[in-house]
Amino acid sequence: MLKSPLFWKMTTLFGAVLLLLIPIMLIRQVIVERADYRSDVEDAIRQSTSGPQKLVGRLSLFL
């Protein structure tokens, strides 16, 4: 079985797939971190603004 060319081809293919999964996982982690950071920044900006505004007084509509 270890001398079979098919075994070595399959083993090499499996190893290559595993090696290629490592950078994909690292890139996915960077994407998740940036999305979390973006959410935190949006919350900080939202809290630093004045919030909802109210219209006080008489409103006249002219047609």
| Chain segment 5-40, per-residue pLDDT in tens | 999 999 999 999 999 999 999 999 999 999 999 999
The pTM of the whole model exceeds 0.85: no
Q: Band of the pLDDT at 48, cuts 50, 70, 90?
A: confident
* CA–CA distance, 40 with 34 (Å, rounded to integer): 10
Residues near 1 by beta carbon (within 8 Å), at least 6 away in sequence? 7
